[in-house]
Amino acid sequence: LNSPLGMTFLYYAQYLHYQLTNNELALKYYQKFLDKEPELLPENRFNFKSESAYARMYPPSTQTALTEMGEIYLQNNDLAK
């Protein structure tokens, strides 16, 4: 991660979205994550030779943030965004 706050923004946005259902504030924190980590790409490769569960976990990515933002816009019936 480029910013120490990048991961914090993503997890806080997910907490707001899934636990508190405060979607408007969650969108702001998803955007803050995207602004702090613009070149963080999705990790879509599968590693079948990993020895531990941690090696199989995917890192946070812009794909995650954008997908969850799209889910919020879909719930708000804002298909243009």
| pLDDT at residue 56 in the model | 46
Give the distance from CA 47 to its chain's centroid.
21
Neighbours of 69 (CB within 10 A): 20
Closest CA to 66 of 29, 30, 41, 32: 30
**Maximum average pLDDT range among 3-7, 14-18, 59-63:** 14-18
Which amino acid makes up residue 58?
Y
| pLDDT at residue 65 in the model | 87
Task: Give dist(CA 5, CA 31) in Å, integer.
Answer: 12
Average pLDDT over residues 46-70: 65
Whole-model pTM: value is 0.72
Closest CA to 33 of 2, 61, 10, 64: 10
